[in-house]
Amino acid sequence: MYSVGSSYLVCDEAEHSRYGGASVKVSQKLGDYGELVIRLTDFRSHEALGEEAEFLHSVATRAYERFFRHYLFCRDDWDVEIFDFAYHPINAGERTVHLGVYNAMVSAFSALDHTFSIWTQRRG
């Protein structure tokens, strides 16, 4: 069983252009340890993004690490795949992408089971 969550922000107002987000697939680990896989694909075409989008890998990794710091889950228990990024060379900001990945993880974990209450698992 797995679940998928997505979070995208596409704002094209002239003064406040922001563009970012991703989809996240989570499932219980298949191997001995959970695995993080980041596929730099476009959310519209599902094709690979170019080299200029390589920074998304580190942004997605930071959001993944932040999620597991905030919630009482052991990352070794979960396989996580991050993919289908909203990316634009001018308007894709690191903060917007980071929030999109983080919120997509919240969505994916919440969708695993309707009785699964992610909010009661939050630290602090």
User: What pLDDT score does 111 carry?
Assistant: 85
Strand arrangement of the beta sheet that strand 18-28 belongs to = 2-11, 18-28, 78-83, 36-38
Q: Is the pLDDT of residue 22 over 90?
A: yes
- Mean local confidence (pLDDT), 40-48: 95
Sort strands 78-83 and 36-38 into parallel, antiparallel or unpaired.
Answer: parallel
- List for the chain the helix, strand, coil content (%; round to 5): 35, 30, 35
Among 7-16, 30-39, 99-108, 110-119, which is the least confidently predicted range?
110-119
With a pLDDT cut of 90, the percent of the chain lying above it is 58
Task: Locate all alpha helices (DSSP H) within 1-124, ordered by sequence.
Answer: 55-70, 94-111
- Mean local confidence (pLDDT), 58-64: 97
Among 9-13, 30-34, 113-117, which is the least confidently predicted range?
113-117
CATH topology of domain 2-121: Ribosomal Protein S5; domain 2 (3.30.230)
With a pLDDT cut of 70, the percent of the chain lying above it is 82
**What's the CA gap between 64 and 40, in Å, rounded?**
15
- Sketch the domain layout of the chain as residue ranges: 2-121
Give the pLDDT band of residue 64 (cuts 50, 70, 90).
very high
Residues 70-113: pLDDT tens digits?
A: 887 889 999 999 999 998 777 667 888 999 999 999 999 988 86
